[in-house]
Structure 1
């Protein structure tokens, strides 16, 4: 029920943001490079007001139709108690994330990521643990989510107020139609991406038991660890892509993109190996015996995320360089395919069908977008040194199963820890791009 409630917040927020978070990441650095502070101010004000009003309207619909959503769509009476919190959380979440997009456009990575990825999750955990002293309840988890979002929103507003000092005295001009036109392609892309990353959970909620939804939800959350670095770099790279493309610095753009792809894959491969080799152990001892039923789905989803990580930031590269319409068509097509495949496979195969559909469509979106980037820029975004990754994974996997066959459990753990340490050092050596982007004061040796 909690997973479904938070999924409703995600999809409603996706619509209410109307692509403005990504649009700000494109227009804010563009206007800063051009020193057009009047349009910068007008665009920021328009985006915040538009998204706030739209989110309030959608929240009202959720509140009004809460009975229909909980009982007729998801067949859950418990969800009915959570939807009022969802309605209140929606405008807060939307305003918070759009503000974060503006800060990313300013290239203020630390302040953009701090509320969303550190403050809010920490507060949710602390508040949930405090509330849980009185006893376990799904209501406590949603209340903790809401409280964390409110505090993080005010923190983001404070950061933006300090950052936007130069535009306070500027006139306010905004090209509303241009902003909405780009935002429409962004929201279309965002909805499609959401479809092939969240449709599985929704379709399972309609055709499978709440227990199956819970098992799959935990599995899917574990797999997202694979692309943690992809998510972190997606907050940094897009504004840089927009600035470099606007200034015509394509050589530096190519270098940053390819180095970033190497860094993303270098952090993804160790996590994937741990999930594949120790996934059953992790599910059993951290979540419970029944969650081992999700191990096969974990393997399938890991392959999809590996391809996602290996292709790099192809979507953002297209969106920030005028190829947003092309990427929208790619994402929409495969998003629709994912819905169809989930509807066909989930009733027959359960969580395995959901994993197969999601992994396949996620992989295809990235592969097609990668070839589109190559066609447009003659830049192959695949990480350098893939031969080393393949040989490393094969050798470590073979030695791991050899130790396991001989019941040498300690050898498994030593092998995995040692080999992953060597891999991370070898694959990241000399790649200072992420550190220079995250920490402007960082200097290469």
Structure 2
């Protein structure tokens, strides 16, 4: 027993004690602070992760060139789909049920859920890896007409089980509201990947170095995920009782698995169809624009990481008023933080795309279209999370299935005619439809709408800030340094000043202070 106390950290013991003590009621302001603190940690981690991911992709794009970089992106796209299939939706199942059982202080069912998820995903991921390895030549030559892609897929297949298991461990950390551990694994993976790829390039390796760097970082990150799992919940490996509800877990997770597949297809169909109809160069340029435009949702991703377990617990306790309050607050802050990012990408696309290299500036219009799509998604709020964590995942499954069909049809129609612009338009139309559908469904089912008068403030501030941005574009050359060094900071500064001048909601002040403290702590 002494050895256990010596090895287990204080936060580990605190987590264990917390789930075994009498539950305490949380006020709306306390819940808002929790979302803000967790969101602040996730936002800080996301910023670091985004910078590392952007740095890695810029490095890959510049060193490999659009052709080889396109092969790497195609490999990532295929392995991503394989990971979604192998995960079987268990990530979301772990978040929902472990959050609920943790709220009920039921350690046995927490352990049973965790071990069930790990066992099932281990088998499914090994099987999927074997299938991908065996079919690598067929996928590369017959579908993509890129024989060189085969060796990339074989290496990626080897690391697939590690990425699937890493996803289970980070989802478990999320269910315990340990966003620091969840983000820690992701940041570690990206930084290690960047370091290994940089070293490989210095040693003269090119595409092979990038591929094996991805493999090694996945293996190491999975190990870190299991270490954090033990820190959070030592009962997972101790000789303690476990109550298994595998059927219940799979009943929830299987629709989530299908939802995950559908939304992953929505995310990667454009690149896969570009690879089919076009060339690897098109995929490389399009992927660069996608990576940059997705920065708009950096804050919504951070909020969802802590909002999901809190929402599952509140819904289980039937605290609907608290859910409505959090829905409004989180949506407002998602819009506040997404607006300046959208302005930057929409007003200065040539400058932003040139980060990858001058040859990538041809994707500036793609960047504008995708930025608009992701901003619409941010502005409609976390409707998908509300549907999924409240047990309405079947509705979101219908959404995803229908829109995958629409997305594939749009890509088949638009890409042969408009190329990369067609792929961007197909994605924009599809994403807009899915987010509007979720918004309407949340209103119809729960009678909740996330908007009030205060939502106008960031929109007005955005319009005010856009004026100097447009003027800079009129009187400056596209992609010039003047736009980068003067125009970008000026737009952000005017947006912030305008928003502050219109006044902050009292809840916004609580969130702002909590986010700043946690963000600075992470950074």
- Structure possessing the higher relative contact order (Cα contacts under 8 Å, 6 or more residues apart): 2
Partner of 1:86: 156
For residues 62-107 of structure 1, what are the alpha-carbon distances to aligned partners after superposition, in whole Å with 9 as ceiling and x for unaligned? Answer: 1111111111111112212212211111001000011111111111
Q: 1:69 aligns with which of 104, 117, 139?
A: 139
Indicate whether 1:418 and 2:488 are aligned.
no
Look up the match of 1:386.
455
Alpha-carbon distance between aligned partners in 1 of 2:287 and 2:504, rounded to the nearest angstrom: 32
- The alpha carbon displacement at 1:219 in A equals 0.4
Is 1:5 aligned to residue 75 of structure 2?
Answer: yes
Specify which of 325, 339, 348 is matched with residue 269 of structure 1: 339
Quote the offset at 1:338 in angstroms: 0.7
One of 409, 413, 418 as aligned partner of 1:340: 409
Q: 1:320 aligns with which of 386, 389, 392?
A: 389
Gaps of at least 5 residues in structure 1 are none
After TM superposition, list the pairs within 5 Å mapping 1:272-421 onto structure 2.
272-284=342-354, 286-382=355-451, 385-407=454-476, 412-413=487-488, 415-421=490-496
Task: Say whether the 8 Å CA contact 1:276–1:299 is kept in structure 2.
Answer: yes
Distance of 2:88 and 2:346 partners within structure 1? 37
- Describe the shift of the 1:247–1:356 C-alpha distance in structure 2 as closer, same or farther (beyond 3 A): same
2:317 aligned with 1:223 = no
**In the TM superposition, what whole-angstrom CA distance separates every residue of 1:132-161 from its partner, at most 9, and x where no partner exists?**
112251111121111111111111101111
Q: How far apart in 2 are the matches of 1:240 and 1:303? A: 29
Kindly tell me the number of residue pairs found equivalent between the two proteins: 440
State how far apart, in whole Å, the 1-side matches of 2:192 and 2:219 are: 10
Which residue number in structure 2 is paired with residue 14 of structure 1?
84
Residues in 2 aligned to 1:230 and 1:248: alpha-carbon distance in whole angstroms = 24
Provide the C-alpha distance between the structure 2 equivalents of 1:29 and 1:363, rounded to a whole number of angstroms. 30
Q: Distance in 2 between matches of 1:81 and 1:243?
A: 45
Among 314, 326, 337, the alignment partner of 1:256 is: 326
RMSD: 2.3
Contact 1:9 1:89 in 2 (8 A): no
TM-score, scaled to structure 1: 0.93
Secondary structure class of the residue paired with 2:348: helix
Query: How far did residue 38 of structure 1 move?
Result: 2.0
Aligned-partner Cα distance in 1 for 2:451–2:409: 29
User: Of residues 122, 131, 145 in structure 1, which corresponds to 2:214?
Assistant: 145
Structure 2, unpaired ranges of 5+: 1-70, 477-481
Report how far residue 353 of structure 1 moved.
Answer: 1.0
What SS does the aligned partner of 1:180 have?
A: helix
Quick one: distance in 2 between partners of 1:89 and 1:422? 47
TM-score (norm 2): 0.80
Cα distance, 1:393 vs structure 2: 2.6
Partner SS for 1:312: coil
Q: Name the SS for the 2:78 alignment partner.
A: helix
